[in-house]
Amino acid sequence: MSTALSPIEKVKRESKGLRGTIVESLRDEITGAIAEDDQAVIKFHGMYQQDDRDVREERASKKLDRLHSFMIRLRLPGGFLTSDQWIATHDIAGENSTGVIKITTRQTLQLHGLIKSKIKPTIKAFNEAKLDSIATCGDINRNVVCSAHPKQSSIHEEVFGYSEKISELLMPKTRAYYEIWLDEEKIKERTEEDPLYEDRYLPRKFKIAIAIPPNNDVDVFANDIGLIAIIENEKLIGFNLAVGGGLSATHGNTETYPRLASVIGFVAGEKNILKTIYEVLTIQRDFGNRSDRKLARLKYTLDKYGVEWFKEELEKRIGFKLVEAKSYQFSDRKDFYGWHKNHQGLWYYTVFTENGRVLDSEKVKLKSGLLEVAKTNKANFRFTCNQNVIVADIQEKDKASIQRILEAHSIVNHTESATSIRKNSMACVAFNTCPLALAEGQRYLPSLISKIEPLMQRHQLESEEIVIRMTGCPNGCARPYVAEIGFVGTAYGKYNLHVGGDRQGQRLNKLFKESLDEVSILNELDQLFSDYKTKRNTKETLGDFAYRNYFN
């Protein structure tokens, strides 16, 4: 294996504190793109350069450059917005991007189709709403996610608080974001000291999630660090620490694989908890693979050096021993659609948002409806890792008026009438903007679900809450490897079919059939449902059945 540093390492080190030549790139009038090295740097500012892949060929024949635009992703620890912030986001999306607000699989929002000249106005407008996009992409700790629904327990608020604290702790120290996008004056020529990231940052992206059992809605084991809240007598006593989860893989590269995080112990007390998290990052910073980006996530570091070694190294760095992991139980991994009340009597309505796309369609005026809700100033907005929005924190006295707005925009009907497989399905963005996409994701899954629904009905399985997920490539953004039925794109119109994941997200599924087109997918599922219907044990989930039936 080559030990030469990957080219991106050089770009990071020479970026002058994530500044690169972004300012010059923005001034370049003749291209909608930014310089190649800046494309790596700008990720740390929460953006990806993309282009409309549907029109590449046509534009080339017209002597036009690719139609470049940028995706910007917000930093929303725990996935929370006030009404005012939702209105601001709504307006910014309308003014500067495609207009669609996309709820991501990691509890934040992203806007697509920003042209180069719109980036600065967008970030300025977000800043006025006290929102930023710092470190939401790139080789750095990304948005910290946590169990979304406050009805879950009285400790939700405390846990949610941790997501903010962790996010703050792991922010880069450079002022580049403020200088480039918000015209903050540069104080000194020297770039800022950053004891955590130094000038190297991490070898690869880094994801942290916090789950409150019994719901694993955040897919806690799919993260580099998973924190499992341990509750005794209705009090948060600390977290079980899981490390080394990550789902991305590369077709044809057997060294890559999805991996669930390993629980290595329990830690209590805010200071110790934060210290532990911090040092997990320093280990990955110092030991992670910086020559092959495909093998650079924490999971590979962990498997290379061993879990025991990792624990020892961590304890050495934090200066205390981890306690043995406490017991916990996950029973679900879902969103609580419709109205629910928390322990303080506040109300929450979880809106079904297919693939996280907030827009007005003929059937449901989701975007207008949410705007009207925000304008009442009587609700907050929370986002889930299943790409849904929760209209949140509503007083009893306001519930009826919010309900009327949701009904008037067909949101209630839309949420209630969606089948349970549709509501438990998820797809990544893929075409036309994702540069990694091999096959369609969110543009295709809804129509495929429409063809799966009759099959489920035929086998009388329509009430089963089967988790179906699709990604357009093997990188796993929509976490297909922890789905009961996972589709992973291999080529345009072709998908690998994975089955056998459990319902709670504690067991990876397995590759079942390779490179299927739609007809073959439907045939395979028809057979799968038929087997399941006839041979299942009582209360056995489809994932458990498939695992038992096909792989044992």
Partner 1 sequence: MLEEVKLNELNYLVERLSREELVWLNGYVSGLIKNSLKSEPKSAKLSGKLTITFGTETGNSKKIATEFATKARKQGLTVKLASLDQYRLSDLSKEENFITVISTHGEGEPPSAAKKFFSHIHESKPDLSKLRYSVLALGDSAYPLFCKAGEDVDTQLATLGGNRISPLQKCDVDFETDALEWFNRSVNVIGNGEHVTPIQATPVKHVGRKIYTGKILAKVNLNGSGSAKETYHIEISADDLAYQPGDSIGIVPQNPKGEVESIIQLLAVDQKKTVQYKDHEYSIDELLTNKLAISYLPERVVSKYAVIVKQNIPAVRIDLIDLLKIYPPQGENQVDEILQGLELITPRLYSISSSLQAHDGEVHITVARNCFQFDGITRHGLCSDYLSRLSDESRIEFYVHKNFQFRLPAPNKDIIMIGPGTGIAPFRSFVEERVNTGAEGKNWLFFGDQHFASDFLYQTEWQDYVKTGGLTKMNVAFSRDQQEKIYVQHKMLRHAAEFFKWIESGAYLYVCGAKEPMSSDVEKTLLEIIKTEGQKTTEQAQDYLNQLIEEGRYLKDVY
Conformational region of residue 519, where left means phi above 0, alpha means psi within -120 to 50, and beta covers everything else: alpha
**CB 62 → partner 1: shortest distance, Å?**
5
Catalytic option among 116, 118, 207, 378: 207
Q: Is 305 exposed, middle or buried (0-12, 13-18, 19+ CB in 10 A)?
A: middle
Stretch that binds partner 1, among 61-69, 140-148, 390-398, 482-490 (CB under 8 A): 61-69
CA dihedral (352, 356, 362, 366) positive or negative? positive
71 binds partner 1 (CB under 8 A): no
95 binds partner 1 (CB under 8 A): no
Angle CA 425–452–546, to nearest 5: 75
Catalytic option among 12, 43, 106, 205: 205
Which residue type does 422 have? R
Instruction: Clarify whether 385 is annotated catalytic.
Output: no
55 binds partner 1 (CB under 8 A): yes
Distance CA 370, CA 381 (A): 9
514 binds partner 1 (CB under 8 A): no
Stretch that binds partner 1, among 16-24, 59-67, 159-167, 384-392 (CB under 8 A): 59-67
Stretch that binds partner 1, among 9-17, 30-38, 40-48, 364-372 (CB under 8 A): 30-38
- Tell me which of 34, 40, 47, 67 binds partner 1, using CB under 8 A: 67
Distance CA 305, CA 327 (A): 26
Instruction: Clarify whether 428 is annotated catalytic.
Output: yes
115 binds partner 1 (CB under 8 A): yes
* Rg over CA atoms, the chain: 23
- Tell me which of 23, 36, 60, 235 binds partner 1, using CB under 8 A: 60
Number of residues interacting with partner 1: please give it, by CB under 8 A.
16
- Tell me which of 32, 99, 214, 446 binds partner 1, using CB under 8 A: 32
* Residue 466 CA, distance from chain mean position: 20
Instruction: Clarify whether 477 is annotated catalytic.
Output: yes
Catalytic option among 297, 399, 434, 479: 434
Catalytic option among 137, 146, 385, 428: 428
Judged by beta carbon, residue 54 or residue 198, the one nearer partner 1 is 54
Instruction: Clarify whether 367 is annotated catalytic.
Output: no
Give the Cβ contact number of residue 454 at 10 Å: 11
Provide the angle, in degrees to the nearest 10, between the axes of the packed helices 366-376 and 399-408. 160
Helices (H) and strands (E) in the chain, counts: 18, 20
Instruction: Clarify whether 434 is annotated catalytic.
Output: yes
Distance CA 215, CA 350 (A): 15
**SS3 of residue 141 by DSSP:** strand
DSSP category for residue 295: G
The catalytic residues are 73, 142, 205, 207, 428, 434, 473, 477
**Positions that interact with partner 1 (CB under 8 A):** 29-32, 55, 58-65, 67, 115, 117
